[in-house]
Structure 1
């Protein structure tokens, strides 16, 4: 366990802040008096969220449009934040995209995007922020991974591969920076009611435009954000959040991996039969 993170007066940089979990986290951190850096590709939506955060009681709020697949822009973005605030207390790597297609039907380009956006973009931004944190001897880095970073699920071969990679990277990073006074938190949501499945890439690389039944019946995004904030304040290095049966897979995979594999194989068979 870590010392509980206190948000008041802290500089928090959130990627994927224009909607979903990122937006909900930003509002809650604003209400706790954080200074915020809001990043995503959609500047108009970021401005909308920034207004909500200012009304909720945030300190200083800056909008910093960012495409995490553009690795060459990360260093300049980090320097811009440091020039404005002088520090980064908490970086939340929350940007990402999901997938909904069988492996045999998936263009290889989709796999590349899964890795570029969900893995390499997070690593590049983290590397850009790390030196200043290490120099201060304090700082906190977090990533929104997924239950899909712990178990393999059908229609998500690329997404699961990316989220497993994210979990591995940040778990390893945690070990490296602990002696520098830095902390790393991994967040593993299950099904949360956001646009994640609507924006997920089909096999041809286009967004599906539809919401899965699992997502539609998942945890409310505001409740999800509350759990995550509570986890930070309690100092949890890994925060699992969700209400559905998918959360049971985390324990099942650990205690009885064969049973977990069989359950997911049955799920895949049902999907293929229905298609």
Structure 2
């Protein structure tokens, strides 16, 4: 794959995995749209990516747990990053807490960020990806080893990552006869870093 012609959106780019992905893709000369919640962290990351060789770096600060935040990101793609050919759904959150001690708001936010947002973003961006005439489109969903095992204290997180894993598998099968490739990556899990 020639990354120097790719236009890649990374959600949650200013987190640990997102930053590593952004740096690695920048070194390959990719065009990047970096999403996160904090503009200052994104600005720093964008500068690093340009120094590492990224062809272009744009940023979008938005909270994906809200409809307005998701709309902001989609608007940025539509206005400033139209050649999008790769979507990396990396944004996520976790909470180490016994299930009966989690508040409904904590559960709802975790499920929204980890599963609702990637599914809704994928659906919204799917036509643009499928209509891309220059590159075979790719969707990469970043999961966790906790998406395959149930881990005490992470029941809601495990459920969200298992849902993302099965969503990826089903979507891959739905579009098996098209150029679109849907992949799920589950890095080994450190309970303190997600």
Judge conservation of contact 1:75–1:128 (CA < 8 Å) in 2: no
Distance in 2 of aligned mates of 1:173 and 1:74: 21
Shift of 1:20: 0.4
Aligned to 2:179: 181
Aligned to 2:49: 53
- Are 1:95 and 2:91 counterparts? yes
- Are 1:160 and 2:162 counterparts? no
Partner of 1:178, secondary structure, is coil
Distance in 2 of aligned mates of 1:111 and 1:76: 24
The 1:76–1:128 alpha-carbon spacing in structure 2 relative to 1, beyond 3 Å, is farther
How many aligned positions are there? 192
- State which of 105, 108, 122 in structure 1 corresponds to 2:104: 108
Judge conservation of contact 1:12–1:35 (CA < 8 Å) in 2: yes
Distance in 1 of aligned mates of 2:184 and 2:152: 23
Between structure 1 and structure 2, the one with the greater Rg is 1
Distance in 1 of aligned mates of 2:78 and 2:7: 10
- Greater shift, 36-45 or 106-115, is seen at 106-115
Q: Write out per-residue CA displacement over residues 176-197 of structure 1, whole angstroms, 9 at most, x where no aligned residue.
A: 122231001101011359744x
How does the TM-score come out when normalised to structure 1? 0.66
Shift of 1:75: 4.6
Aligned to 1:249: none
Aligned to 1:129: 125
Shift of 1:74: 3.1
Distance in 2 of aligned mates of 1:23 and 1:47: 12
Judge conservation of contact 2:8–2:33 (CA < 8 Å) in 1: yes
Judge conservation of contact 1:75–1:125 (CA < 8 Å) in 2: no
Partner of 2:186, secondary structure, is strand
Judge conservation of contact 1:110–1:158 (CA < 8 Å) in 2: no
- State which of 180, 184, 188 in structure 2 corresponds to 1:190: 188
Q: Write out per-residue CA displacement over residues 130-176 of structure 1, whole angstroms, 9 at most, x where no aligned residue.
A: 01112236310111111111111110011011111111111111111
- Unmatched segments (≥5 aa) in structure 2: none
Shift of 1:104: 2.4
How does the TM-score come out when normalised to structure 2? 0.91
Judge conservation of contact 1:20–1:194 (CA < 8 Å) in 2: no
CA RMSD of aligned residues (A): 1.8
